[in-house]
Amino acid sequence: MSRIVRRIIANSALFMAVILVLSGVSGYLLISHEPKTEHLLSETQKEFLENKEERQNKIESAEYGGEVTHVDGSAIAKARENYSSSVEEYGIGSVYIPASEISLPLLAGTSEENLLNGVATASAEKELGEGLFIGMSHNVINQRLLQNIDQAEKDDLVYLTDFTDVYTYRITEQTVVHETESSYLKEPEENETAKLLLYRCEGEYNTDWRRIVYGDYIKKEKISEVDKDILKGLMIDVEVINSTEKLESDTQEVSTVEYQTEEDSKNIFEQIQTKTTDIISQKNILTQLFLRVYALADSYTIFFFMLVFLLFVIYYSF
């Protein structure tokens, strides 16, 4: 075999090995990265304000009955690949817990992708501020979702919105319960205040335990009456509300306030990672490639690393 052919084979093997490694790492960064949600929810707000029945249509068309369990990397990658469509098709609001730094879309139904992309609603019949409202998500390593609810403390406030009103709940309990524990699923009596239950799984693979946050309903406010920082946490596009409903001048001021950007509170490494993943996520073909390579690496870990190792061996052998 000629030297040129050997060199071509070696360089090709090295190139493929590097591409596989970089793609896997990029896929991992993508699923760990907070996706840009504001513009997606902004479009949802416009839909709801133009058609009051659209929110209910999304709720009724969703699927319910999914379970909160651990999932593998391929499911996570697929969900992240379809993040935009999940929010567009099933987004009905958002959730904000300031003390736990949780800011997520509220998605109708408990499909696997909804559980991996936001806070999934457990029932089509439950409304915010009434009865027991239940939201849930998977507990995924390096992906926020409801992972930080273990930091929630009694009397912390939770805000939820349907893009018309903001509903405030006060946390009364944060604990770990067995999945068979049903007391938290009990509907409040007619003379009791409405309740909120948020939960995710807790523990190792196939765990039977659930981390829950339980709270009491406090009040409902029009978006125009809510503090600007809460609106930011709920990812509410005030300009959409203003342009559609022509709110009063005090709310107009909210839309012109320059908020501190997310990057301002991060260190340089986190800023670089955020910028990099933002750029990658804007390239749909690259995003799909990286997520699929990551899914392959996660599902067939030994095979993946053996393949990469073999490619490096070929490179050094030639």
* Structure-model confidence comparison of residues 4 and 233, the more confident one: 233
Please identify which of the residues 33, 70, 178, 201 carries the catalytic annotation. 201
- Among 176, 225, 169, 219, smallest CA distance to 195 is for 169
**307 within domain boundaries:** no
**Average of pLDDT values for 91-102?**
95
- How does residue 265 score in pLDDT terms, banded at 50, 70 and 90? very low
Residue 70 annotated to the active site = no
CB 128 within 8 A of CB 114: no
What is the mean predicted confidence (pLDDT) over 111-133?
93
Asked whether the predicted pLDDT for residue 274 surpasses 60, the reply is: no
Q: Report pLDDT for 260.
A: 44
Return the pLDDT at 255: 42
Residue 144 lies in a domain: yes
Better pLDDT: 214 or 316 = 214
Local structure of residue 200 (DSSP, 8 states): E
Q: Is residue 274 part of a domain?
A: no
Q: Within a domain: residue 272? A: no
Helix axes 3-32, 268-281, angle to 10 degrees: 110
In a domain, 294, yes or no: no
Residue with the bigger pLDDT between 309 and 135: it is: 135
At 287, is the pLDDT very low, low, confident or very high (cuts 50, 70, 90)? low
pLDDT, position 304: 80
Confirm whether 39 is a catalytic residue. no
**Domain span at 156:** 37-266
Mean pLDDT of all residues in 161-183? 95
In a domain, 93, yes or no: yes
pLDDT score, position 131: 95
Number of domains making up the chain: 1
The pLDDT mean for the chain works out to 81
Element holding 136 (H helix, E strand): strand 132-136
CB atoms within 10 A of CB 35: 18
How would residue 102 be classed by pLDDT, with cut points 50, 70 and 90? Answer: very high
Looking at residue 190, what is its pLDDT? 86
Q: Is the pLDDT of residue 249 over 50?
A: no
Residue 187 within a domain: yes
Neighbours of 280 (CB within 10 A): 18
> What CATH code is carried by the domain that includes residue 159?
2.40.260.10
Residue 1 included in any domain: no
